[in-house]
Amino acid sequence: MKIFPEIDYFIELNDDCSLAISELVNQTLSKEQFVANWNNQTFIGKIEKNEFEVKLSKKIIGEFCFLKGKLKNEKGTLKIRTGRIFKIIFVTIVLFTLSGIVTAIVQNKLELIFHLVMTILIMRFIFLELGFRIISNIGINKLTEIIGIKELKKTLHNNV
């Protein structure tokens, strides 16, 4: 099992990839731009020829996961990964919790260890996993609307 959730897909498009990429460019704000209102576009990211890396334009939700794809003719791949900011937040919380476990062992307060371990498990499985699934589904649905995904198949090596 991986610490951070991720999903890989094979996708099949309704139209040619050049049309899909041009539609995605119309709905994506460049991540190099400074904009006060990000909600005018569906995605923020960078798009090159047949490849893209985008995230949802909603402020907190968009940072949760990003979609990276590569299209060729009417087929392609899509990888959904946990965002860097949420990885940093999760690792920080785990480190604080582990330091609490060490402190509980040193102070001989072993009843606290259960609560601290449960904190790590709840953060991983409830917040990180559930949040990733919900937000990645929102991203996939919006991407499907924009580029016209006909079929979406998970690859076999997914842990989500």
Per-residue pLDDT of the chain in tens (160 residues, 90 and over written 9): 688 999 999 999 988 888 888 898 888 888 776 555 555 778 888 998 889 999 988 877 888 899 999 999 889 999 999 999 889 999 999 999 999 999 999 998 888 999 999 989 998 888 888 989 999 999 999 999 998 888 888 886 655 4
Residue indicated by tokens 């559930």: 130
Collect contacts of 155-159 with beta carbons under 8 A, ≥24 apart.
155/8, 155/9, 155/10, 157/8, 158/6, 158/7, 158/8, 159/1, 159/2, 159/5, 159/6
| Residue of 87, 26, 82, 34 whose CA lies nearest to 52 | 26
